[in-house]
Amino acid sequence: MNARRIAAYWIVFSVVLALLIAAPLVLPEFWRRFLTEILIWGLLAMSSDILIGYAGMISFGHSAFFGLGIYGAAAALLSVKPPNLWLALLFGVIAAAGVAAFVAYFSTRLRDIYFAITTLIFSQIFYVIIFTWTEVTGGENGLTFSRPPLAVPGLFSVPFTSQTLHWFVLAVVTLSYLVLRRITRSPFGMVLQSIRENEARTRAIGYPIERYKIVAVMLSGLFAGLAGGLYAIQNRFAAPDFVFFLVSGEVIIFNVMGGIGTLVGPIVGAAFFLLLREGFSRFFTEYYLIPVGLIFIAMVIFLPQGLLGFMRRTLNR
């Protein structure tokens, strides 16, 4: 049974991956970009799933990690000539991980609602700093920059097309997924889950909970920063809006819609949310959040496991 299940998992995994690889060949330009965007937001949502789904901590601070990832990549792309893809991603990840370490140090001392509020306030601090520090961050207008070429130093350097960009993003997201999957199944991931289930008991067994939580937040911030770097490369601009806490809220919506604690669920949730937004903005223009918000509330009440959990239950029946 177990071996069959593992085989089934890898078959589904390869089929989905193959479909995603083939997608840009058949999709028109708009949907190709759309799919790439889903993957990037999915990576961000997946990074916050480590906290929400595994450690049981709702973070309202992911906009800060994501935004710092974008601004970090922007800094690399604007200051280094010629712009370098890998340096941009590296800067984004370092900026986000640094901020995450800072936030984690303070916020992990608190639990539940207090953790959520602290991370929210931290993301607002970074929002205010970025919004008002106009000389460096461009303030409200943000920064624009050009897209670096896809290059391996010493081998080749070609400009991105929307196809190669999609494949590049897909590769990064798939790798991140595999790494995260490995991490959540490692002893470290098990300790996180036991913190979620019963923090006092985990502490009593002798695990230094604070350290585990700090590492979890940093890890989560690191991948959020990677998502930010990818987003910067795709959209070629940085704006303070990405640091605003509403982005964190959307990330949580992705998680809840897709199903927390599943890693794939958040990507499904991101796809579902973005499709809903696309569909509803045809009728409701910029007020699409009214129907989407109502659907979200209904899902919180009636479908707490999210789409993936719901599907799994229906299939098992």
Residues 166, 41: Cα–Cα separation, whole Å: 13
Residue closer to another protein (CB basis): 35 or 268: 268
Nearer to another protein, 53 or 229 (CB): 53
User: Which residue number, 120 or 173, has a Cβ lying nearer to another protein?
Assistant: 120
Report the nearest approach of another protein to the CB of residue 269 (Å): 12
Torsion 98-164-48-129 (CA) sign: positive
d(CA 61, CA 55) in angstroms, rounded, equals 15
**Residue with Cβ nearer another protein (59 or 176):** 59
Least distance in Å: CB of 250 to another protein?
9
Give the shortest CB-117-to-another protein separation in angstroms: 5
Per the rule left: phi > 0, alpha: psi between -120 and 50, beta: everything else, 84 is: beta
Q: What's the min distance (Å) between Cβ of 125 and another protein?
A: 5
- By beta-carbon proximity to another protein, the closer residue of 15 and 125 is 125
Shortest Cβ 165–another protein spacing (Å): 31
Interface residues with another protein (CB under 8 A) are: 58, 106, 109-110, 112-114, 116-118, 120-122, 124-125, 128-129, 131-132, 249, 252-253, 256, 286-290, 292-294, 296-297, 300-301, 304
Alpha carbon distance 245, 238 (integer Å): 16
